[in-house]
Amino acid sequence: MRILFVQPAPFEPGRLGLENAIWLSEPAAFTSLAAMVPDHECRILDLRLEPDSALNRELLAFRPDIVAVSCMTTDSYQAMAILQCAKNTLGADKVFCIAGGHHPSLAPYDFHQVSIIDAIAIGEGEDTFKELVAHLDQGGARRKLQRIDGLCFFDGAEWVTTTKRAQSRSMDSFPLPDRSLLKKYSGSYFFMSAMPMGSLSTSRGCAYDCNFCGIWEFYEKKVRFLSAARICDALEAMDESFVMFLDDNFLTSQKRLEELCDEIERRGIRKLYGAQGRADFVVKHPELMARLRKAGLTLLISGYETNDEQGLAALKKSSVADANKIAAKMLNDLGIAIFGIFMVRPDFTHADFDFLYQSIDEMRITLPIITIHTPLPGTQLRKLAQGNLLTEDVRFFDLLHAVTPTTLSREEFYTRFTEGWAKREWRNAPFLDFVKKRPDFMKITWRGLIHLTQMLVRYRPVATSPESHLRDEIGIIPADLTVLNAREKATDKAPIKTAPLPSSSKGLRIISDQAAE
């Protein structure tokens, strides 16, 4: 069978969003799925790197039997548009369309669209996809998929969810991802200046249950690891000098990380790495962090969220503010770049913003990534915030828009929020310290600096302007809505009073024939 995997871009071109500006990782889900069906012809189309028309042309040239998309929350409309395009172009009965990934797994009802979707893969997809392809290849009926676990499909009368697939298979038993399918995008993936960048998942799941995160629900709080030997096999097969570990929480097991350091040393693998991990783990394992640094760990993305103890407790973060501060100091001392994620809550006052920014500056974060506390679908937080949502438009769940009422006016809120980006950018002192401490990283990524500079110079005016956020909300969230009047507004039938249209919105000048006639 011919299988086309399509990676959606998160937004229609031109919308505010940080995705793709500072980090673009390989569509690792597709390389893993493709490796499960080696007897079939697979292609990957990454629409983050392609013009829109590439999809139509690939559909016509390749004529796939199956089109598969994988998506997070913000790109789920785009995923549906892709499947619509596939059905329209090839004919509804001539192509089988399947959606999988984070959002379809946690909110499958959003994809109950009979006209464009034949099935939804729930949870880990490898075995589900393999069995589905075998079923279709043997001429199995599209609407009789009951025997395949982990699917939701329309059986002709209703959407049926099959038995939940046990997510217990050892990661070592999966074949290594088929990265040969990404040859055409070779050199295109990056994190900041690290370009080209390889991507590798060495574990799945997270043992913590932070209420703003859906990862632990997706993986049912189980954590599985790839063995050190398999990780090193994969690393040795990669040409890239910089590899990003895509694990949701790389810093989990001391034992496995020590084994990984041993194996990297034993094989003499000389690459640099980035990963995501928790601050409290860093604090508890100073020797291990030093070893990881020696083995090549160069940057760590950590969700510090806030330095306010009550705030951390409210997020069920299971960490304390002191751990954030100590971890930051340790990482700075080791020369590991800190990409600290912080959360601005919609109920922030000016004093809260001041406190957050002051603590970020004190921690000397290499690049703070400031986000807005967002009740993402599938999280505990979403259940708590459901009645308070200002919109269900998934594009706004990008951590850059307040989807619940703010305490400050929206304009003030976004002014303070963007100030966080504007004043703490990559040219700051902690970044320059890192540059001095890590000539090895600069040596292998200097070419990527041109790309990074381009991206930041072009993106900065957008990321640092409150108007960017308010423009996205025109016609959707009233500009004058705050926590004080949210209830009243919710029952107000009057049309939404939007922010004044920006002067540059020339497209909104109205045509009138009468004027001409």
CB of 273 to other proteins, least distance (A): 23
* Residue 389 is a binding residue for other proteins (CB under 8 A): no
* Residue 493 is a binding residue for other proteins (CB under 8 A): no
> Which residues within the stretch 285-324 sit at the binding site for other proteins (CB under 8 A)?
none
In whole angstroms, give the CA distance from residue 8 to residue 10. Answer: 6
* Residue 468 is a binding residue for other proteins (CB under 8 A): yes
Kindly write down the DSSP assignment for every residue of 340-362, as one continuous string. EEEEE-TT--HHHHHHHHHHHHH
- CA 101, 105, 109, 114: dihedral to nearest 10 degrees? 50
Distances (CA, A) of 196 to 21, 187, 240, 455, 487: 15, 4, 6, 15, 49
Beta-strand relationship, 272-276 and 242-245: parallel
429 Cβ contact partners less than 8 Å away, ≥ 6 residues apart = 364
Binding-site member from 38, 39, 53, 168 for other proteins (CB under 8 A): 53
Distances (CA, A) of 4 to 43, 44, 69, 130, 413: 5, 6, 9, 14, 43
- The stretch near other proteins (CB under 8 A) out of 269-277, 288-296, 341-349, 507-515 is 507-515
Which residue, 29 or 470, is less far from other proteins as judged by CB? 470
- The stretch near other proteins (CB under 8 A) out of 5-13, 122-130, 290-298, 343-351 is 5-13
Verify cis geometry, omega within 30 degrees of 0, for the bond prior to 196: yes
Binding-site member from 80, 107, 181, 403 for other proteins (CB under 8 A): 80
* Residue 454 is a binding residue for other proteins (CB under 8 A): yes
48 Cβ contact partners less than 8 Å away, ≥ 6 residues apart = 7, 8, 9, 10, 19, 20, 24
CB of 80 to other proteins, least distance (A): 4
* Residue 14 is a binding residue for other proteins (CB under 8 A): yes
Which residue is listed with tokens 């045509």?
A: 511
Torsion 83-84-85-88 (CA) sign: positive
CB of 25 to other proteins, least distance (A): 13
* Residue 393 is a binding residue for other proteins (CB under 8 A): yes
CB of 369 to other proteins, least distance (A): 17
The answer to whether 122 and 102 have CB atoms below 8 angstroms apart is no
Residue window 190-229: x/- pattern of binding to other proteins, with contact defined by CB under 8 A? ----------------------------------------
CB of 453 to other proteins, least distance (A): 11
Which residue, 351 or 510, is less far from other proteins as judged by CB? 510
> Which residues within the stretch 83-112 sit at the binding site for other proteins (CB under 8 A)?
84-85, 88-90
The answer to whether 37 and 76 have CB atoms below 8 angstroms apart is no
Binding-site member from 15, 316, 325, 437 for other proteins (CB under 8 A): 15
Binding-site member from 17, 108, 277, 420 for other proteins (CB under 8 A): 17
In whole angstroms, give the CA distance from residue 162 to residue 177. Answer: 26
- The stretch near other proteins (CB under 8 A) out of 46-54, 243-251, 322-330, 376-384 is 46-54
> Which residues within the stretch 236-265 sit at the binding site for other proteins (CB under 8 A)?
none
Q: Could you say which DSSP state residue 73 is in?
A: S
* Residue 333 is a binding residue for other proteins (CB under 8 A): no
271 Cβ contact partners less than 8 Å away, ≥ 6 residues apart = 235, 238, 240, 241, 242, 243, 296
User: Residue 218 CB: number of other CB atoms within 10 A?
Assistant: 21
Please give the residue ranges that form the binding site for other proteins (CB under 8 A): 9, 11-17, 20-21, 24, 47-57, 59-60, 77-78, 80-82, 84-85, 88-90, 393, 395, 450-451, 454-455, 458-459, 461-462, 468, 471-472, 474-476, 498, 501-502, 504-517
